[in-house]
Amino acid sequence: MTERYAIEIQGLYKYYGKYKGVSDVTLKVKKGEIFGFLGANGSGKSTTIRCLLGLIHPNKGQIELLNGRYPTLKEALQHIGYMPSESMFYPQMRVEEIIDFAAKSHKKDCSSESHRLCRILDVPLDKKIAELSLGNRKKVGIVCALQHQPELLILDEPTSGLDPLMQERFWLLVKEACHAGASCFLSSHILEDIKTYCDRIAIIKDGDILKVGTLSELIGSQSKTITFWQDGQIEHSSFAGSGRELLAYLQDLQADDFLVEEPSLADLFRHYYQEEKNDFTEA
């Protein structure tokens, strides 16, 4: 039987006392895809990830990882690479020691792959953690998450702190892993990353999943902006409907010229979040 899903979440609920973390979260991550989990700070992204990893226990719901091939979560975690948004390491240990320490937790020889990753990311192996910049600490977290060549990557804000060159190299590594059969579930609020690299996207707000689909599906569900010129005047309108209906609408306008624009990913988020918060970054 062909394995289809790396993650299956059904009806996930998590409350912190009387406060809602997530409510009825249901989604699936396909084998080999890069799945973007998008939402504002405090929307429920990290709560969902912590439930996936068994760091916290949900009040209700079902989670299945890697098609249920491993009988326990402990065994499944050996095949998962996790990168938290803020990696905390022992400050007086050298980078090389930290990477080796992480490799030993997976009980396999990761030396060849870790050396390759360190070369690609230009990791300063001889420095102590306390001496590293945010970007270099992020690189160490990437190596620790990828070196055992996991079947599933779970990444929380993975590119924050990386310079543009290292961001590009990071995404090449993620695409390489997924091309080889791994899957990637990542949370982010960097819209350009999601737009460029993710196969599908889930939007979460206040603990509730609002939409799941490809970028074109999500954007296609929103109104288009139409600018048209008529008798020397510029007018603007919005339109929601099928392509056939759009053609009929444009014909009825009898405009001298027109421009039809699809909403951007930023427009999509402003629609769902109604500009309540300003914590999305476009690039």
Q: Report which residue type is found at 262.
A: E
What pLDDT is recorded for position 2?
Answer: 54
For residues 208 and 23, is the Cβ–Cβ distance under 8 A?
A: yes
Sheet containing 5-16: order of strands: 19-30, 5-16, 60-65
Backbone φ and ψ of 175, nearest 5°: -65, -35
| Residue 3 vs residue 146, higher pLDDT | 146
Compute the average pLDDT of residues 74-98. Answer: 92
Q: Which residues contact 15 (CB under 8 A, 6 or more apart)?
A: 21, 59
What pLDDT is recorded for position 93?
Answer: 95
Locate the domains of the chain by residue range: 1-79+152-158+181-222+265-283, 223-262
DSSP H or E stretch at residue 113? helix 111-121
- Provide DSSP, 78-111: TTEEEE-SS----TTSBHHHHHHHHHHTTTS--H
* pLDDT per residue as tens digits for the range 149-185: 999 999 998 988 899 999 999 999 999 999 999 999 9
Dist CA 192 CA 173 (whole Å): 17
What pLDDT is recorded for position 215?
Answer: 83
For residues 80 and 152, is the Cβ–Cβ distance under 8 A?
A: yes
Q: In the structure, what pLDDT confidence band is assigned to residue 246 with cuts at 50, 70 and 90?
A: confident
Q: 257: helix, coil or strand?
A: strand
DSSP, res 151: S
* pLDDT per residue as tens digits for the range 190-244: 788 888 899 999 999 999 999 899 988 887 666 677 887 888 888 877 777 667 7
What pLDDT is recorded for position 253?
Answer: 78
| Residue 6 vs residue 189, higher pLDDT | 6
Give the architecture (CATH level 2) of 1-79+152-158+181-222+265-283: 3-Layer(aba) Sandwich (3.40)
In the predicted structure, residue 125 carries a pLDDT above the cut 80: yes
